[in-house]
Structures are given as C-alpha cells and as structure tokens.
Amino acid sequence: MKRRLIKATVDRNTTRERAAKLRALLRRAVDDWPQFDGDESVNGGDLVEWFALFRTDAKRILSPQRTR
C-alpha cells in the first residue's frame, strides 16, 4: 500500500501580500534615510526612534498568520 505525503498548503495570496508588505517596509527604509546614500550626518536619536517603529512593523509582518 502506497502512502501519500501530506503537504502543507500555502495560501499564495497571503504569501504575496506578505511579500508586498516586506518590500514596502524595505522601500520605507531606503526612502526615509537618504542620508546614508551620501556623506550626510545622521541624527542617532532620530534613527533609534525610527528603527523602533520599523522593527515593530517588521515583527508584525513576519509573525505567523493567525487562524480564524
């Protein structure tokens, strides 16, 4: 008797949505800090405050989707 493997199903729409959100998050990092592209100074306090918010958004996007 042959057995079939049960494969985990992946909701492709959910995966695409998460990928789009991650791309937007990365785009925000690049767009919000153009100072890193040149030889401009960066305010450390502002960067830490921004990064705290960025990290919160990243954690939300990366967390497993809750089942309803």
Task: Give the pair of three-digit tokens for residue 44.
Answer: 């450390």
Question: What is the predicted pLDDT for the residue at 14?
Answer: 83
Q: Quick check: 57 and 25 in contact, CB under 8 A?
A: yes
* pLDDT tens sequence across 21-67: 999 999 999 999 999 999 899 999 999 999 999 999 999 998 876 54
What residue segments make up the domains of the chain, in order of their start? 13-62
Question: What is the predicted pLDDT for the residue at 37?
Answer: 93
DSSP state of 12: H
DSSP state of 39: T
